A and B are shown apart, each in its own frame.
Chain A
Amino acid sequence: MRSVNRLTAWLIALWMLCAGAATPSFAKEYVLVGSYGNKLYLIDPVAAKIARTFQVPGAGTGPSYIAPSPDSRVAYAVTNRFNSVSGIDLDSGKEVFRADLAQGDVRVHAMFGLDVSPDGKWLYVVEQRYRLLSDRFEVVDPVIAVYRTDAGAEAKPTRLIPIKHQIQHLAVSTDGKTLYAHGLDLYAIDAATGKLRDTMPVANWKRDGYGPAEAFAWLGEQLNSSGVYAMDFYTDRLGQGSPDSPVRDLGVLSANLKTGAMTMEIIGPASEAPDLTGMTVNPRNPNEVIGIGGSLVKIDRRAKRVIARGPTNGLLFYMGVVSADGQRIYTGGGHCRVGIYATKDLSPLGLVELPNCAVMGMSSVRVVNRP
């Protein structure tokens, strides 16, 4: 009996070692969202219930973009009306990181461009900057500010990477060496040197028969374990329809954060899903993307068609993310409800209403693994 117990203990220890330090033992997937009232919530998607609530300190209505650390221990959230980034420890609930972004007389706002390096050491923040002069605003060139995640309560950037204007979203490659910045176009930037390595034209793309492409980059993609940044785009067919009623197509823009491949492909008529505001890739099937917005659709990228539709029941979700096992999609943003759907057929599995129906606004929907 004693040797059996010893063997069991040894096997458990071996399993924990193999699981690695980055994943908490016996971890379970939760949905991480924010709402007005400066709250963060962990939602148990299986029970369709809120498991834990966190208060983000300081002023502001609600967190905007949220980026969890790779080990799921800290949630970094834009707060204080885009003026600060707060890191909330999801164990203790305490604020362990705070960057108030203003630098001297330069006012700084972060909105949706926020991501953490794969080793968890660096936080990258897209910062929009300006000076308020006595008679006018003076626009200061935007940057990606790089913070140490262990910088504590008064974090200051260790360096600033100059970027083009109108960049809204950011995704770090899986090896941590490249920053994908999405604005009018999609840029690949060397994380170490800050040099622009590659550009994929998006608004400036040249495709025979099409006008500029509009990618919905301002809300940002809710990155998950798929290792793919994906975003819907719409583009007008030239010479068809009229200026007031153009003939439009829907497409999928993606950046593979492992291989570096950046692509834009037309899926079909925009009428298939004319009101998408976000997209997310199934980690277990990268050919499968889910479009979220006034519609909820599943798209087969190879077949270039919508293969499933889900009921939104009159709700427009801003964004969504597919679970690590590829089985469920979680939708949120805008109002006060988090939707849970099966990726197989987009059938609804649950709807979680946040306390006091506090609106999520621009807040993110992310997945984390917690004990």
Chain B
Amino acid sequence: MVSTEEEGLVRPMQAVFPLGCTTALNPGVEVDSTGSVASLCTPWEADLYGCSEPCNWPASVPDSMTYPEWNQGTSNGEADWRSLGQIYPDK
């Protein structure tokens, strides 16, 4: 956290976290850090791949390092997104 003393506020440190990609962990309802969709990737399917790879911010997709099989064999994001795997908690 960074204190902005001039404003008397404490708000989350934003550096390194990017524009684009969702900040809401809410599958199927992606919004950006401002609550809109303006800075999400377009076409939106690109988010599913781009946001899952580096796994350094919360995205509504699993990270592909922990779940390498998640997007295996689905190279065409715009056509294959319905074939992406489902991830469930371990029982």
Seen from chain A, the residues whose Cβ lies within 8 Å of a Cβ on chain B are 35-37, 59, 61-62, 64, 81-82, 109, 111, 166, 168, 183-184, 202-203, 211-219, 234, 238-239, 243, 245, 274-277, 293-294, 314-316, 318, 333-336, 356-359, 361-362
Judge whether B29 is part of the interface by a CB distance below 8 angstroms: no
Question: Which residue from B15, B41, B54, B56 sits with its C-beta under 8 Å from A316?
Answer: B41
Judge whether B87 is part of the interface by a CB distance below 8 angstroms: no
* B42–A361 CB distance below 8 A: no
Known: A61-B64, A214-B15. A36 touches B75 (CB 8 A): yes
Enumerate chain B residues within 8 angstroms of A214, measured Cβ to Cβ: 14-17
Enumerate chain B residues within 8 angstroms of A336, measured Cβ to Cβ: 76-78
Question: Which residue from B13, B15, B46, B79 sits with its C-beta under 8 Å from A202?
Answer: B15
Contact with A along B11-38 (1 / 0, CB 8 A): 1011111111000000000000010001
Given known contacts A238-B6, A315-B42, A335-B77, what 16 new A-B pairs fall within 8 Å (CB)? A35-B75, A111-B54, A168-B16, A211-B2, A238-B4, A243-B11, A245-B34, A314-B43, A316-B40, A316-B46, A334-B46, A335-B45, A335-B78, A336-B77, A356-B76, A361-B49
* A294–B65 CB distance below 8 A: no
* B54–A362 CB distance below 8 A: yes
Judge whether B72 is part of the interface by a CB distance below 8 angstroms: yes
Return 28 A-B CB contacts under 8 Å, by A number.
A36-B49, A36-B74, A61-B53, A64-B53, A81-B64, A81-B68, A168-B16, A184-B16, A203-B16, A212-B15, A216-B19, A218-B56, A238-B4, A238-B7, A243-B11, A274-B19, A276-B19, A277-B20, A314-B42, A334-B49, A335-B45, A336-B77, A356-B75, A357-B76, A357-B77, A359-B45, A359-B77, A361-B50
* B20–A275 CB distance below 8 A: yes
Among residues 52 to 91 in chain B, which have CB atoms less than 8 Å away from a CB atom of chain A?
53-54, 56, 64-65, 68, 71-72, 74-79
Question: Which residue from A82, A202, A218, A245 sits with its C-beta under 8 Å from B18?
Answer: A218
* B2–A212 CB distance below 8 A: yes
Enumerate chain B residues within 8 angstroms of A318, measured Cβ to Cβ: 50
* A358–B75 CB distance below 8 A: yes
Enumerate chain A residues within 8 angstroms of B40, measured Cβ to Cβ: 316
B21 → chain A closest CB, angstroms = 10
Q: What secondary structure prevails in chain A residues at the interface with B?
A: loop
* B19–A359 CB distance below 8 A: no
Enumerate chain B residues within 8 angstroms of A183, measured Cβ to Cβ: 16
Question: Which residue from B15, B42, B45, B75 sits with its C-beta under 8 Å from A37?
Answer: B75
Q: What secondary structure prevails in chain B residues at the interface with A?
A: loop
Enumerate chain B residues within 8 angstroms of A218, measured Cβ to Cβ: 16, 18, 54, 56
**With the chains together, A365 CA to B49 CA distance in Å?**
17
B39 → chain A closest CB, angstroms = 5
Enumerate chain B residues within 8 angstroms of A59, measured Cβ to Cβ: 68
**With the chains together, A275 CA to B74 CA distance in Å?**
28
Known: A183-B16, A184-B16, A214-B14. A315 touches B43 (CB 8 A): yes
CB-based nearest B residue for A203: B15
A358 → chain B closest CB, angstroms = 4
CB-based nearest B residue for A312: B42
Enumerate chain B residues within 8 angstroms of A294, measured Cβ to Cβ: 20, 38-39, 42
**With the chains together, A354 CA to B79 CA distance in Å?**
14
* A212–B78 CB distance below 8 A: no
* A213–B15 CB distance below 8 A: yes
* B38–A275 CB distance below 8 A: yes
* B14–A277 CB distance below 8 A: no
A183 → chain B closest CB, angstroms = 7
Enumerate chain B residues within 8 angstroms of A213, measured Cβ to Cβ: 15
**With the chains together, A184 CA to B16 CA distance in Å?**
7
Enumerate chain B residues within 8 angstroms of A109, measured Cβ to Cβ: 65
Enumerate chain A residues within 8 angstroms of B18, measured Cβ to Cβ: 216, 218-219, 277
